[in-house]
Amino acid sequence: MDFQIDPRIMASRATQPITDKKTKDLDSLRESSREFEALLLMEMLKSMRKSVPEGGLFDKDTSSEIFRDMLDSETAKAASRGKGLGIGEAMYKQMAELIEKKK
């Protein structure tokens, strides 16, 4: 058995960008702030649904509750993408300064 290493593979791995710890921390912070905003929006939507009186065309059962929870969750995730409401972005900016000041 003759195992040879292709030099093109080694060269391609050597040219991959190396990300430092600050960049990883900032990316993680951005994702966490978006998730927090989505969670906040989801709780807000749940509270808004509770304020709507019962009744209407469809009966309230377990499957419709699960569907509404899933719908609220996806709506919150979609609303927090991009700029969102600005809550996540404000959190990111405030906490990013702390990461930037770190050694």
- Residue 101's pLDDT is 85
Do the domain assignments include residue 52? yes
State the pLDDT at residue 12. Answer: 53
- Residue 28: the pLDDT is 93
Q: Tell me whether residue 4 is in a domain.
A: no
Residue 8 lies in a domain: no
Instruction: Decide if 80 is inside a domain.
Output: yes
Written as tens digits, the pLDDT of the chain (103 aa) is: 566 676 666 655 555 455 688 889 999 999 999 999 999 999 999 999 889 887 777 777 888 889 989 999 999 999 888 788 899 999 999 999 988 887 6
Structural domains in the chain (count)? 1
pLDDT at 2: 61
Q: Using an 8 Å Cβ cutoff, are 37 and 88 in contact? A: yes
- What is the C-alpha separation between 24 and 11, in angstroms, rounded? 24
Please check whether residue 6 lies inside any domain of the structure. Answer: no
Range of the domain at 42: 20-101
- Global pTM reads 0.70
pLDDT of residue 82: 78
Task: State the DSSP string of 22-41.
Answer: HHHHHHHHHHHHHHHHHHHH
